[in-house]
Amino acid sequence: MKEFAYERATDVRDALIAADGGARYLGGGTNLVDLMKEGVEAPTRLVDVRQLPLAGVSEAPDGGLVIGATTTNSDLAAHPEVRRRYPALSQAVLAGASGQLRNMATVGGNLLQRTRCAYFTAQVCNKRVPGTGCPAIAGEHHNHAILGWTRNCVATHPSDMAVAMLAFDAVVRYEMLDGPGEIPLAEFYPPVGDTPHCETALPPGALITAVVLPGSAVSPRSRYRKVRERASYAFATVSIAAGLDLDEGSVRIALGGVASRPWRARTAEAFLLDAPLTAEAFRAAADAELAAAEPLPGNGYKVRLAGNLIETVLKELQP
């Protein structure tokens, strides 16, 4: 690990000033510090934001919730209103990492965690040095993307939390020295295109301060299902956050483990707007969504798995 400067900020403006000119913000450090040890990340300065007064979950005027960026994953998952109104989000967070990691990891940091593609951590690739190629496409890609990838990168986004947040149309709030801003989570992670190293739409130097969950008729009847190679402490092979509004007959579906970003299954959602909520329709909606899938030789099983999950979890959400 390279030597770096460290400072702890106690208010947002101090953090922004301290980071001006190219520092990295340090939340729980559960991903960044690992990457620093591996030499993947080599910041010269860290600004520790865990002490900022941003932790906690509060009510939003529209009936939603505002989740402070330094809220720990554990506190988010345990919050009674999150569990009541957004059960899929609580389940998603609890499906990730381990108890110790969730106690450290923050909501803002979770959104910014980086892919666990083995090539990314062990050697250079397009995500680390543009133009160096994507060894996973011709190489080991058993757990790589089936949707939205390009020849430049086939890595997946590792977050469980962000999948559930995406299903509920979350909005990311941030602060910069010249003022606040916000980005819908649906636009937070840009498509891979030919810039796989550009992983978020967050402006340089911006500090995530909160994630806003809009009030939702879909979220109370929601669940998260994570499929993985072992019972805990593994990243998703494929995961799904789904919610069902029985009054409107509408659904929300987001998938994890299938793309460079949490994947909102809008095609399937649109299909079900005009369809009866039956097992056959769920399967047809899944097929419609996954018609766009482009599996590689080693990960075709994810198409079937994602289809199975969409059908099964939507069925489970029905009364």
Q: Where do contacts with other proteins occur on this chain (CB under 8 A)?
A: 1-2, 39, 116, 118-119, 121-123, 135, 138-140, 142, 227-235, 237, 301, 304-305, 308-309, 312
Between residues 267 and 308, which has the closer beta carbon with respect to other proteins? Answer: 308
CB of residue 135 vs other proteins: minimum separation in angstroms? 7
Among 168, 143, 166, 162, which residue's Cα sits nearest to residue 154? Answer: 143
Minimum distance from CB of 254 to other proteins (Å)?
A: 17
Nearer to other proteins among residue 19 and residue 77 (C-beta):
77
- Compute the least distance from the CB of residue 297 to other proteins, in Å: 10
What is the C-alpha to C-alpha distance for residues 33 and 24, in angstroms, rounded to an integer? 11
Nearer to other proteins, 128 or 228 (CB): 228
Task: Using the minimum distance from each CB to other proteins, give the nearer residue, 10 or 232.
Answer: 232
Residue 309: CB minimum distance to other proteins, A: 7
Q: Select 119 or 188, whichever has its Cβ closest to other proteins.
A: 119
At its nearest, how many Å lie between other proteins and the CB of residue 123?
A: 8
CB of 12 to other proteins, least distance (A): 33
Residue 153, SS3 per DSSP? strand
**How many Å apart are CA 78 and CA 39, to the nearest integer?**
34
Which CB, 2 or 291, lies closer to other proteins?
Answer: 2
To the nearest whole angstrom, how small is the minimum distance from the Cβ of residue 227 to other proteins?
4
**Residue 237 Cβ vs other proteins, minimum distance, rounded to whole Å:** 6
How would you write the chain as a 3-class SS string?
CCCCEEEECCCHHHHHHHHCCCCEEECCCCCHHHHHHCCCCCCCEEEECCCCCCCCEEECCCCCEEEECCCEHHHHHHCHHHHHHCHHHHHHHHCCCCHHHHHHCEHHHHHCCCCCCHHHHHCCCCCCCCCCCCHHHHCCCCCCCCCCCECCECCCCCCCHHHHHHHCCCEEEEEECCEEEEEEHHHHCCCCCCCCCCCCCCCCCCEEEEEEECCCCCCCCEEEEEECCCCCCCCCCEEEEEEEECCCCEEEEEEECCCCCCEECHHHHHHHHCCCCCHHHHHHHHHHHHCCCCCCCCCCHHHHHHHHHHHHHHHHHCC
What type of residue sits at position 27?
G
Q: Of 6 and 270, which CB lies nearer to other proteins in the complex structure?
A: 6
Indicate the residue among 221 and 304 with the shorter CB distance to other proteins.
304
Q: State in angstroms the smallest separation of the CB of 103 from other proteins.
A: 17
Pick 212 or 313: Cβ nearer other proteins: 313
Which one-letter amino acid corresponds to residue 165?
Answer: M
DSSP strand pairing (171-176 vs 179-184): antiparallel
